[in-house]
Structure 1
Amino acid sequence: MSKILVLYYSSYGHLAQMADAVAEGARSAGAEVDVRRVPETAPAEVAAAAGFIADQSHPLIEDVGELANYDGIIVGAPTRFGRMPSQMAAFLDRAGGLWFTGALNGKVGGAFTSTASQHGGQETTLFSILTNLLHFGMTIVGLDYGFAGQSGVDEVKGGSPYGATTIADGDGSRMPSPVELDGARYQGRRIAELANKIAAPTPAREAETA
Structure 2
Amino acid sequence: MKIQVVFYSMYGHIHRMAQAVAQGVASVEGAEASLWRVPELVPDKALEASGAKAAQAAFADVPIIAPAQLAEADAIIFGTPTRFGNMAAQMRNFLDQTGKLWLAGSLIGKVGSVFASSATQHGGQESTILSFHTTLLHQGMIIVGLPYSEQRQMTISEISGGSPYGASTIAGPDGSRLPSENELAMARFQGRHVAEITAALTRGRSAMV
Alignment TM-score, normalising by the size of structure 2: 0.94
- Please say if residues 75 and 129 of structure 1, whose CA atoms lie closer than 8 Å, have aligned partners that are also in contact: no
**Where does residue 208 of structure 1 map in the other structure?**
none
In the alignment, which of 80, 84, 88 is matched to residue 87 of structure 2?
84
**Where does residue 98 of structure 1 map in the other structure?**
101
Q: Report percent identity of matched pairs.
A: 49
Please state how far the C-alpha of 1:49 moved relative to its aligned partner: 1.1
Question: In structure 2, what residue type is equivalent to 1:54?
Answer: Q
Change in CA separation of 1:18 and 1:87 when aligned onto 2, cut-off 3 Å: same
* Deviation per residue, 1:150-186 (Å, 9 max, x gap): 1031110000100000000011111000110000011
**Where does residue 50 of structure 1 map in the other structure?**
50
Please state how far the C-alpha of 1:204 moved relative to its aligned partner: 4.3
RMSD of equivalent CA atoms: 1.2
Question: In structure 2, what residue type is equivalent to 1:185?
Answer: R
Does residue 64 of structure 1 match 2:67? yes
Question: In structure 2, what residue type is equivalent to 1:93?
Answer: D
- Please say if residues 39 and 60 of structure 1, whose CA atoms lie closer than 8 Å, have aligned partners that are also in contact: no
**Where does residue 7 of structure 1 map in the other structure?**
6
**1:69-148 correspondence to structure 2 within 5 Å:** 69-148=72-151
Q: Greater CA deviation, 47-56 or 96-105?
A: 47-56
SS, match of residue 162 in structure 1: coil
Question: In structure 2, what residue type is equivalent to 1:36?
Answer: W
Q: Greater CA deviation, 104-113 or 43-52?
A: 43-52
Instruction: Give runs of ≥4 in structure 1 deviating > 4 Å.
Output: none
In the alignment, which of 161, 164, 180 is matched to residue 164 of structure 2?
161
Q: In structure 2, what is the Cα distance between the partners aligned to 1:58 and 1:146? A: 34
SS, match of residue 185 in structure 1: helix
Q: In structure 1, what is the Cα distance between the partners aligned to 2:38 and 2:166? A: 20
Q: In structure 2, what is the Cα distance between the partners aligned to 1:54 and 1:179? A: 24
Q: In structure 1, what is the Cα distance between the partners aligned to 2:160 and 2:208? A: 46
- Please say if residues 37 and 65 of structure 2, whose CA atoms lie closer than 8 Å, have aligned partners that are also in contact: no
Question: In structure 1, what residue type is equivalent to 2:159?
Answer: V
* Deviation per residue, 1:119-151 (Å, 9 max, x gap): 100111111221111111110110110000110
**Where does residue 198 of structure 2 map in the other structure?**
195
Please state how far the C-alpha of 1:57 moved relative to its aligned partner: 4.5
Please state how far the C-alpha of 1:77 moved relative to its aligned partner: 0.3
Bigger proportion of residues as helix: 2
Q: In structure 2, what is the Cα distance between the partners aligned to 1:137 and 1:204? A: 20
Q: In structure 1, what is the Cα distance between the partners aligned to 2:191 and 2:9? A: 18
SS, match of residue 156 in structure 2: coil
SS, match of residue 54 in structure 1: helix
- Please say if residues 12 and 56 of structure 2, whose CA atoms lie closer than 8 Å, have aligned partners that are also in contact: no
Runs (5+) with no aligned partner, structure 1: 206-210
Q: In structure 1, what is the Cα distance between the partners aligned to 2:84 and 2:105? A: 31
**Where does residue 27 of structure 2 map in the other structure?**
28
